[in-house]
Amino acid sequence: MTDLKTNIIGLDREQLKSLLIEFNLIKPSEKFRIKQIWHWLYFHGVTDIDHMTSLSIRFREDLKKFFTLQRPKLNKEQHSSDGTIKWLIKLADGNLVETVYIPEENRGTLCVSSQVGCTLNCKFCHTGTQRLVKNLSTEEIVSQLMIARDQLSDWPTNENRKISNIVFMGMGEPLYNYDSVKKSVQIFSDQEGIKLSTKRITLSTSGIVPQILEWGKEVDTVLAISLHATNDELRNEIVPINKKYPLDELIQACRDYPRSRNSRRITFEYVMLKGVNDSLADAKALVSLISGIPAKINLIPFNPWPDSPYECSSNNQIKKFGDFINDAGYSSPVRKTRGQDIMAACGQLKSDSVKIRKSISRLQK
Ligand code: SF4
C-alpha cells in the first residue's frame, strides 16, 4: 500500500520529527534519529530504508510501515553534444517536468523547475506558451536534484561533486510557488545533507516585486532578474508581468535586496532580440537603469523554437552591446547556448513534456 505512505523526501526536519512522534516511532527526546535519517537521505542519497544501516532493523521495519523514499520516475534522458543532459521526469500524478544539467569547466549547474507550465507568458520563452498546470511540491522540486545525482552517480557529497550550483530557471516562476521553493532551498543548503551554500543557489524571477523583498529577508539566495528591456513599453510586451510590477518598482526592489546592500551582485538576464532590444541606445539605457546596483548582466543569445516571434541578434551586435556595458564597469558575459540540440537551452523547455502528455492523453481516449 505504497500510496498511503508518506514520502520523507521534501519534509523538513520539524515535520519529520512530528510525524515520527505521531506514529510512536521515536520519543520527543530522540532528536538524533532525525539526524541519522537526514544523513542517509541527503548525504548518502539512499533509495531504500533498508540501506540506512546505522538504524536498527526493527526501527527500519517500523519506518517502512509509514514512509517511503520513492523518487518520481525518469521518463527520458537526452544528452546534448556539448555535455548538457535533460531529464524528463514523470511525477506521481502523471505530470511531466524537465530538469537540465549543464557541466562547465569549474562547476556543474542543475537548472530545476518550480511549476509545470507557467502563467506569465514571457514572449521570448517557450515554456510561457504552455498553460500553468500546477505548482510543484517541495518533494517534487527536491526530487529533481535527487534524480540528477542518481543519474550522475553524484553521491555522497564530496569535494569533486558534479552538481555544485542550482538555478531556479527551469519551468515556472519560482516566486509564485514561494513556500515550496523556500523549503527546497532550506533542504538544499542544510549543512548535514546536500550542503549547497545559498551563495550557489540562484533564484531567477521575472520580477514579482513583493516576494523579491520577502525572499531577500527570509532566504537570501543569489538573485537573477529576467529583465530583457529598459523601458516599460517594451518590457510590458516581452515580460507582461511588468504591467503589474513596472520597472521603477522592480529596480527599487533590487536596490533593497539584502545581498545587493551588502555589495553582492544581482544578475540581470538580458535576452538579445534582433532589432527589438539590442541597440546601443538600449545598452546605454540599461547602464543608466541599474546605476548604483552591484550587478552583472548576462547576455543571452535568443534560442528560437518553431514559430517563435523573434530572431537572435547578430554576434557582432551582441559584442558591441556587451562591450558598451563592460566599458561602463559591468561584467557582461555572453551566456553560451547549451543543450540547444535537445531543446534544453534557456527558454526552450516545454516541447517534450507537452508532446508526451498529448500522446498519453491520445492513448487514453
Ligand atoms: S521566462 Fe520564466 S516566468 Fe517567463 S514565461 Fe518563461 S518560465 Fe514563465
Residue from 101, 123, 129 nearest 113 by CA: 101
CB count, 10 Å around CB of 254? 25
Q: Where are the domains of the chain?
A: 2-68, 73-360
| Segment 200-225, tens digit of pLDDT | 999 999 999 999 999 999 998 999 99
Q: What residues are in contact with ligand 1 under a 6 Å CB criterion? A: 118, 120-122, 125, 127-128, 171-173, 206, 226
- Collapsing DSSP to helix, strand or coil, 321 comes out as helix
Same topology, domains 2-68 and 73-360? Answer is no
For the structural domain made of 73-360, what CATH number should be given?
Answer: 3.20.20.70
Q: What is the mean predicted confidence (pLDDT) over 291-306? A: 91
Say how many residues make up the chain.
365
Whole-structure pTM value? 0.91
As beta bridge partners, residue 297 has: 268
- Collapsing DSSP to helix, strand or coil, 127 comes out as helix
CA dist 288 to 237, 294, 299, Å? Answer: 21, 13, 17
C-alpha cell recorded at residue 191? 549543512
Specify the pLDDT at position 358: 46
CA nearest ligand 1 atom 5, residue: 128
pLDDT at 361 over 50: no
Q: Residue 121 CA: which ligand 1 atom is closest?
A: 5
* Mean pLDDT, rounded, of the chain: 90
Specify the pLDDT at position 201: 97
Specify the pLDDT at position 352: 54
- Give the range among 11-15, 243-247, 266-270, 340-344 with minimum mean pLDDT: 340-344
**Residue carrying C-alpha cell 498511503:** 4
Stronger pLDDT, 361 or 117, i.e. the higher one: 117
Are the C-beta atoms of 241 and 208 separated by less than 8 Å?
A: yes
| Segment 57-116, tens digit of pLDDT | 999 999 999 999 999 999 999 999 999 999 999 999 999 999 999 999 889 999 999 999
**Residue carrying C-alpha cell 521603477:** 248
Domain 2-68: which CATH number of 1.10.150.530, 3.30.300.30, 3.40.50.2300, 1.10.10.10? 1.10.150.530
Q: What is the mean predicted confidence (pLDDT) over 23-47? A: 94
